[in-house]
Structure 1
């Protein structure tokens, strides 16, 4: 079985950190893109004959070095132009996608470790860190992984245990945090490969964490693995039902929008 984390986009993330060379190449490509943005901004200002000032220069530098990288990493979930070309992604330490906070911390710290020191601080940190992290990654709780753009064919669907279906249908199952949901899914997929002792300990630990998001508790004597499978299967079913209802509602609204107003009958083809 392939080792990895399957994201909600159906992309298999390699759990091994990406190589330093890949990170460096992606950073250089991103630098080229940011340079083009900066040059374009200068050309526009020259064309409109705008009077340069210290404040304007500060705004341009902040935009190119902090605002643009933060926006790119947030909107693309850790896949800027350079990372997309090289085939890597920045993820949180728990495997989840980066958010605005992590992207901003990485960009803000990068102002010092990348721009002001010409990347020397990031280079030294990445060489000696076991996961190839730079200072911004350490502070933001992120790291780079290789992305294989394919749907994982070896990842089975977690099925609902029949004996827990009636309980799950009426239980209040809240949305699990991304990191916890990924941990539960990966555990259920790999149960047969785990040592029995570790399997029992980890299953009990995950079930205890998941139980905080479920009410009422499962029937007494429920096995932790069955409980975890029931929660994931029920969440998947409810998300599908919600998505299908939204799709049907949109189709109905679209049909109403196409109808003629004031009771005029629709033309017959």
Structure 2
């Protein structure tokens, strides 16, 4: 199953189901990057302090210390980010904290090549400029991508989603048979939002207003429904909402399974 990008925050799966994906916001991504930077600098400083102590004890020469300092920088700012991101399949300590994961722009799992490019460019834009270059690039891109992401073809996807509401609509018993043969096409986002808002607030409306809005929304939704069941407009809207929710849950389940399969493959160079 392949996936196709349809816009900045939507992926079209092989079953032609649009899957809405959300990138990590600029502020959260900056916070995660600060955590990863702090870990990298802490490791570098710890290694340098150890070298200074060894030099004071006469166990290291000045030339050897310079070489080891360069090695410590490579270890802290290049090897460490690559190792952690590969081992955690696109995540790091900072990304875990903000609920993000690095993925390809088509939603697939990253490989060693993507991680290496991001880490190599990150030495310049994150560590050598103390995050300044990454902040400028991230603020100017729709998905808060830094320069390393743009070159590698990746972005940070949000994987920590809010919990679903405790109370969800259920399919009316009168529509049980219809649901087995119903075909509900993808509705315009504005119409789907209006239907959801109506069902959530129907109890607060007066009977006349409730009936009027239900008739209006049902009339707009009918071109996307086949066959049309012989039920009240509000029951029709309720049934459509439940079917769309189940379809979206199946699409998300397919996307999750695909991501797990891709993540489980051997990292390719």
Which entry has the higher C-alpha Rg, 1 or 2? 2
